[in-house]
A and B are shown apart, each in its own frame.
Chain A
């Protein structure tokens, strides 16, 4: 009974186990390579941060087919991306466009690095400055006191 049930279930649940399936692959290896490269940058809308190239969800498959359709129709890579973004919004791009508020995302790292470098430079200079405390010179009071001692 259980065995039969599992068999039935296994047939019902037989979801596609592969991401890119053999039937999807384009005949022209050049176009296919472009399609794969584009797929890596597009998000599977129902998954958690997975690209459509990695995902085996059926929605990802539809999107992969769409990308291949556009490529076969002669679109350039940018055309394909524009087309997909036009339909699904910028949410599908795994690398968000560096425009408007997104600039913050792109600038944050380099800016932080620059800031860190500046702070570090001052710190390192400061540590070096105190290297020879004696050589920094005596204060005027110390100077006169020294003269006093030496003179007397």
Chain B
């Protein structure tokens, strides 16, 4: 019963979205306020209906309603409750439903918080947003119906992929989708502004909080996914340059660029057409991501044939929205003449470089991701593009970005003198070089990667500190510290986010350059040494879990004669899904992780064991969380809140000087 209601609600939301995509646009064109005003209640109704539909599907999963084929294929009565719920989005149909839920949520939020927007702009934004949701409602209803019933109801389900039964992955997709889909509202703002023919400082202010929110969610989502891969896949890799990962990384890079260029629009009324283009392209990459992950076209060209309908549909959505928006852009870009002028050395120039580096880095990832497809279709070459290529092609951009960042962040708007900003950064540079040299001296005969990463990371963190210090102005130390504490949250957000990037860089360089690995057959009771730690295999037992059987080892980690910790790496078999998983055990620390994996029993007795010491591994995700935190601080700044909320007069758009 609920299921049919859910299906019906979704159909109803589709109908509303079709109307909402057209009526407010006409209203805005003709200046009919009644027609424009319908966008608001319609957005909210769309969201409510989709939420109900999502709740109905969740209810089916929670109660293990095996008359629904999606539940049968992705759930099981023995599965813990958390994974029954996360199973809702652990599959294609359900995740698309989550996608439209978030799409309509952002529409509704734009309606709720958009009170200060000029009515015509708001009507257009909501109409464009609704056009996107209409396309995805159609996609779900016509190709991926989550509410399909079974003809014969089975006794039990076939379980969720065991790799997905993990807290890290349970929350990874919702965050990622909040990010992907959050970019849709930036897209809607961009297209609405193009239709309106006006982009000014106020527009930059309205778009920035949405971009920031989407970027924060993307950052958290990517960090969760990478963290999950780190401990779940069993060898402690954290990034694989898999097409699906790249699909989430490209929007992240572009939205980071958009975030920065929107500041230029807001403060200086320059880079307008570029910012509009980025807003369009950012969502374009989200759509490409959806296409890559769902059609299977990139991982295997032949998988495309297995589901041509869905792939074609997504390609159609991508083509219509990107093609339409870019054509509109080409026609209207000339209207957006820049106002602000600036010198060659200025914050504006620095942000232009930031944008070039981020956008070209995203482009490199894009080309690498689709190259196997292009090479096969155009040149008949079957080839792979993997981690070694991306590491080589992508890293230089990040290095350049890190070198320029602290300097650019210090430059004032309009016109700056390099010497002044450079002089202030001398202590940061000295500290970075000193720590880099220290790292170089401490390691023996390894790559330069570790020291360089440490130096760059320190440079970013110390540079952010210098930025805060300068911002407080000249005063005694106590006064200055007090002023630093009282700086606007946007300033703090900037410093925190930039140092988060530095922390992540140290983590990546540290774990890549200084990891120690040991692979061996260990006997019960035996002790062996790995990178300064002793490891003992105490015992191995068979344990029955709720929906799996596990081979659980008890292992000790020693520092000299002191037992640092006791770890339980596991090997699990999920009989229903018929899949083994490795559960590595970690002793996490600030300086290093000890990472243990238990393998198979060996013929001559003993067990295969893999042990790693991974220096600074946690810094990767800590840095990402700090970046997201910095974004959150920025988002909570009063100036941004005011901009997103009420009391904005389009014509005046008063701006603080800084």
Taking the closest CB of chain B, its distance from the CB of A23, in whole angstroms, is 8
Contact A43 B386 (CB under 8 A): yes
Contact A9 B578 (CB under 8 A): yes
B-chain residues with CB within 8 Å of residue A20 when the two chains form the complex? 519
Contact B382 A89 (CB under 8 A): yes
Instruction: Annotate A7-40 by CB proximity to B: 1 below 8 A, 0 otherwise.
Output: 1011001111111111101000000000000001
Contact B299 A25 (CB under 8 A): no
Interface-lining segment among A47-55, A65-73, A137-145: A47-55
Nearest-neighbor residue (CB-CB) of A131 within chain B: B341
A124 CA to B388 CA, complexed, in Å: 36
Are A95 and B386 also in contact (CB < 8 A) when A9-B573, A113-B356 are? Answer: yes
Nearest-neighbor residue (CB-CB) of B246 within chain A: A49
B-chain residues with CB within 8 Å of residue A5 when the two chains form the complex? 575
- B153 interface contact, C-beta 8 A: no
- B580 interface contact, C-beta 8 A: yes
- A87 interface contact, C-beta 8 A: no
Contact A22 B608 (CB under 8 A): yes
- B45 interface contact, C-beta 8 A: no
Are A40 and B388 also in contact (CB < 8 A) when A18-B519, A112-B363 are? Answer: yes
- A60 interface contact, C-beta 8 A: no
- A147 interface contact, C-beta 8 A: no
A18 CA to B375 CA, complexed, in Å: 33
**What are 27 A-B residue pairs whose CB atoms fall within 8 Å in the complex?**
A6-B544, A6-B575, A16-B600, A17-B571, A17-B599, A18-B234, A18-B519, A21-B600, A41-B386, A41-B388, A48-B242, A51-B386, A51-B387, A54-B240, A56-B234, A91-B382, A95-B389, A96-B389, A100-B379, A101-B375, A108-B363, A109-B397, A116-B359, A120-B356, A128-B342, A128-B344, A130-B341
A-chain residues with CB within 8 Å of residue B352 when the two chains form the complex? 120, 123-124
A96 CA to B242 CA, complexed, in Å: 15
B-binding residues in A (CB < 8 A): 3, 5-7, 9-10, 13-23, 25, 40-41, 43, 48-51, 54, 56, 89-96, 100-102, 104-106, 108-109, 112-113, 116-117, 120, 123-125, 127-128, 130-131
Interface-lining segment among B125-133, B364-372, B494-502: B364-372
B-chain residues with CB within 8 Å of residue A112 when the two chains form the complex? 360, 363-364
- B426 interface contact, C-beta 8 A: no
A125 CA to B349 CA, complexed, in Å: 10
- B521 interface contact, C-beta 8 A: yes
A-binding residues in B (CB < 8 A): 233-235, 237, 240-243, 270, 299-300, 338, 340-344, 348-349, 352-353, 356, 359-360, 363-364, 367-368, 371, 375, 378-379, 381-389, 392-393, 397, 519-521, 544, 549, 571, 573, 575, 578-580, 582, 597-600, 602, 608-610
A104 CA to B363 CA, complexed, in Å: 13
Taking the closest CB of chain A, its distance from the CB of B394, in whole angstroms, is 8
A41 CA to B389 CA, complexed, in Å: 9
A17 CA to B344 CA, complexed, in Å: 57
A-chain residues with CB within 8 Å of residue B348 when the two chains form the complex? 124, 127
Nearest-neighbor residue (CB-CB) of A10 within chain B: B573
**Complex A-B, nearest 8 residue pairs according to Cβ-Cβ distance, in ascending order:** A94-B386, A95-B388, A109-B364, A18-B599, A10-B573, A116-B356, A101-B379, A95-B389
Nearest-neighbor residue (CB-CB) of A90 within chain B: B383
A106 CA to B385 CA, complexed, in Å: 11
> By CB atoms of chain A within 10 A, which of B383, B573, B599 has the most?
B383
Contact A22 B521 (CB under 8 A): yes
> Residue A16 contacts which of B237, B368, B599 (CB distance < 8 angstroms)?
B599
> Residue A13 contacts which of B384, B521, B578 (CB distance < 8 angstroms)?
B578
A21 CA to B367 CA, complexed, in Å: 35
A116 CA to B400 CA, complexed, in Å: 15
Contact A50 B597 (CB under 8 A): no
Contact B242 A13 (CB under 8 A): no
B-chain residues with CB within 8 Å of residue A18 when the two chains form the complex? 234, 519, 582, 597, 599-600, 608, 610
